[in-house]
Structure 1
Amino acid sequence: MKLLIHSQYFPPEVGAPQNRLYELGVRLVKKGVEVEVLTAMPNYPQMEIMPGYENKSYLKEEMGGLTVHRSSIYVSKSKAITSRLRNYFSFVWSSYKIGRKHLKGDFDFVLCESPPLFLGISSYFLSKRLKAKFIFNVSDLWPESAESLGLVTNPLMLKPAYKLEAWLYKKAHLITGQTQGIVKDIQRRFPNKTVKWLPNGVDLTYFDRRQISKIDIAIPEHKFYCFYAGIHGHAQGLEVILNAAEILKEKDIAFVFLGAGPLKDELKATAKEKGLNKVYFLDPVGKDKMPGILMNASCALVPLKRLPIFQGAIPSKIFENAAMEIPLVLGVEGEAKELFIDRGNCGVFYTPESAVDMAQSIEKLYQDEQFRMESGKNGRKFVAENFDRDKIAEELITWLLNLKDKA
């Protein structure tokens, strides 16, 4: 069985889809599936082509048993919608061109990672050329999310985007969604399509605090460390963390932002303006360092803006922190709360975008060490039972075998 994973994002970039797709591919290979990857020259989130990949139109490399084909992509630090669209469509075209030229033999499946939604165009036509069945993997509902966040408001852009979304769903032999909320949304609108839940997960061996040495993060010593590790973007509403830090400024509590993104400079400026001297901003680190870095965390902050579209969201940072027995301070309503707070007892919930609520949740963990320890242990137990990457890969193989047998 042969599978092509088609994604704009892939390691050595650091991020949720990058880690998820790489870990899935590696496990599929170990279970006998031949996997190739078609992706871009690594650039995200700094929006700069990484050293060793500059000025190349094509590169082939091996990573963890995966054959990885890379094509060129336009990158710019501009936040303008035109620059973002040029970034997306440059890879839509270059990946199709490189795929036609360098992908050899027949494939059974092409799995497209969305967003960006537009990549589905080249994925679909590549699947036709490769005589493969088209799988559309939805990790975020587009253009719904872009519209909800106010990133795209022009009806002249939204209308064709919704039409493209519907066309891709109709063309797919199988649709997979990263959360149950995504699955239910697509099933409601397209009841005749097969839609499966393909969740994110965690490597329980890699993220095991009993096997990990702490990596010094080179900031002053404090009694308690609140960690936010991830993209510094629009969806997260990270200003709530700064406002909570202001409320708790008399406590010996540090707030650590780890990562990059379009709003990082703005957040740093706000923290400076507010005089928040226990807020620290660290650069992104590679996956190999993340477990050691997370050993410093007393709790993990998981915020999202309070929008209906996020009722079905499960931020990927939940899984690794839970596996590391780090209690969650979760500001996500809907599916994430139902799973990790109501069922898993993995930490505390606060009302999204409420700094007062977040500060109270943090203080509960700060004051009650026994509750903090119990929440952390519950987290590891819950992800071990429900989000083991090995079990997720096995289930996907079952679906692929069933799909392969269908005419």
Structure 2
Amino acid sequence: MHILFLTDNFPPEGNAPATRTYEHATRWVKKGHQVTVITCAPNFPEGKVFSGFKNKLYDVSNLDGIRVVRVKTYITANDGFVKRILDYLSFMISGFFAGLFQKKPDVIVATSPQFFCACAGWALSTVRRKPFVFELRDIWPASITAVGAMKDSVAIRLLEKVEMFLYHRADSIVSVTHAFKKELIERGVDGDKIEVVLNGVDLTKYQPSICKAPELVKRYNLDGKFVAGYVGTHGMAHGLEHIVSVAEQLKGNDDIRIVFAGGGAARKKVIDLVNQKQLKNVILIDRQPKEMMPKLWSLCDVSLVPLVNSELFKTVIPSKIFECMGMGIPTIMSVPEGEATAIIRDTNSGIVVESENVEQISQAIIKLYTDKAFYAEIKSASIVAGPKFSRDLMAEDMLDIFSRQVPNKKDDHTHDNQLSEY
């Protein structure tokens, strides 16, 4: 089977969409399938082309057996609605035209969170008369208004019409949460064509650490420190100003450090707040290459997973919780009650507190720092939970969905689905 996959995020970018697509695709290739990924020059999250790459009109390379086609787009930082829409539209157009020249795809897949990418996938499927699978990673454009990036308007309502059009036209929808599936059904989308494939963890890369990466411990002066880390994209949705306030509350305890590692639209705000408050217990680490992530995670005794207190974020599952499970790092989750909090509670892999509640987040860090027996219990439960969310299982589930859309290409192997339902 030839899988043609459209995504505007792909390695060396290290965010969740890029990682998910790459880790699935490598597994499909190992199963004997051909995978072509159409993407753009890596630039997320700063909106600057990565070193060693150029924003070329058309560039073809090979990454671990995946044929990668990079197209020219309008590249900008995530600093304005209009610029981002231009970015998305440029990929939609260039990605569509690039897709016309790919040889004999059997199924066309396009991923969100922004669905202009999915528009290109649908258009390609129509022209080439191939099944269209829409991978739904976010309810967009609702997430735009949820973080206050744009108010409800004619433009938003128009985007919602495009959104519903894509849901109805897709031959299959792959949702990353059960909550997304439920919402789509409530909005009139046929539930029979919606499948749920959660995010997961590559257990060949993310394993419990025997010790913290020595070179990083030395570089950031973390020897003997209990580290609570926020690792990942610094976005408007994460409310990181509250984590800075947590650091301010804990500044009297010299044994505890708060680490911010990553980049994104809210990065400068975090740096400015830390400098303004003159916090010496905060470590700021720039965005790192994806291959550095296990070492970076090894620094953390606890992972901080925040989201702002919005109704929309009840349906979101931050993908980093699975990497933390793989490494045996307890999670302190401060997000609205929903599917993500249920996973943490059901697996006993962390502590759930109220979204944006600085006091509760601070107390959770103190609890895990002081209560060694409790910490060991949560750490052990995290390690046990990891295999339930193995990327191998998720990639196999996706492949089964594709195969059902291409009956004559069905695999002859059987699949033992070990994923617990949430």
TM-score relative to the length of structure 1: 0.95
Q: CA deviation at 1:33?
A: 2.0
Over the aligned positions, Cα root-mean-square deviation in angstroms equals 1.6
Which is worse superposed, 165-174 or 26-35? 26-35
Distance 1:370 1:78, change over 3 A: closer
Match of 1:231 in 2: 233
Question: Structure 1 residue 120 and structure 2 residue 118: aligned?
Answer: yes
CA drift at 1:215: 4.8
**Matched residue pairs, number?**
402
Pick the aligned partner of 2:246 from 231, 244, 247. Answer: 244
Following superposition, the deviation at residue 190 of structure 1 comes to: 2.6
CA distance in 2, matches of 1:320, 1:273: 32
| Partner in structure 2 of residue 147 of structure 1 | 145
Q: Is the 8 A contact 1:347 1:372 kept in 2?
A: no
Whole-Å separation in 1 of the counterparts to 2:211 and 2:230: 20
How far apart, CA to CA, are the structure 2 residues paired with 1:397 and 1:211? Answer: 34
1:328-343 correspondence runs (5 A): 328-332=331-335, 333-340=337-344, 342-343=345-346
1:114 and 1:215 mapped to 2: Cα distance? 38
Q: CA deviation at 1:130?
A: 2.9
Matches of 1:395 and 1:14, distance apart in 2:
23
The CA distance in 1 between the partners of 2:341 and 2:95, in whole Å, is 38
Counterpart mapping for 1:3-402 below 5 A = 3-77=3-77, 79-100=79-100, 102-104=101-103, 106-193=104-191, 194-210=193-209, 214-217=213-216, 218-221=219-222, 222-251=224-253, 252-332=255-335, 333-340=337-344, 342-384=345-387, 386-402=388-404
Distance (Å, rounded) in 2 between the aligned partners of 1:230 and 1:364:
24
* 1:317 Cα offset (Å): 1.0
Determine helix, strand or coil for the equivalent of 2:69.
strand
Residue ranges of structure 1 left out of the alignment (5+ in a row): none
**In structure 2, what residue type is equivalent to 1:184?**
K
3-state SS of the aligned residue for 1:235? helix
- 2:84 aligned counterpart, secondary structure: helix
CA–CA separation in structure 1 for the residues paired with 2:183 and 2:88: 25
Shift of 1:383: 2.3
Deviation at 1:53, TM superposition (A): 2.2
Q: Secondary structure at the match of 1:204?
A: coil
User: How far did 1:216 drift?
Assistant: 2.6
Q: Which runs of 5+ in 2 are unaligned?
A: 409-422
Deviation at 1:192, TM superposition (A): 2.2
Q: Structure 2 CA distance, aligned partners of 1:223 and 1:163?
A: 51
TM-score (ref. length: structure 2):
0.92
Q: Is the 8 A contact 2:55 2:71 kept in 1?
A: no
**Secondary structure class of the residue paired with 1:29:** helix
Contact 2:45 2:77 in 1 (8 A): no
How far, CA to CA, are the matches of 2:122 and 2:211 in structure 1? Answer: 42
Q: After superposition, give the CA deviation of every residue in 1:334-370 in whole Å (9 maximum; x if it has no partner).
A: 1111111x21000111111000010011110010122
For residue 129 of structure 1, report the CA deviation from its aligned partner: 2.8
Please tell me the residue identity of whatever aligns with 1:150.
Answer: G
Deviations 1:95-127 (A, max 9, x none): 112222x312x2121111112111222111111
Secondary structure of the structure 2 residue equivalent to 1:4: strand
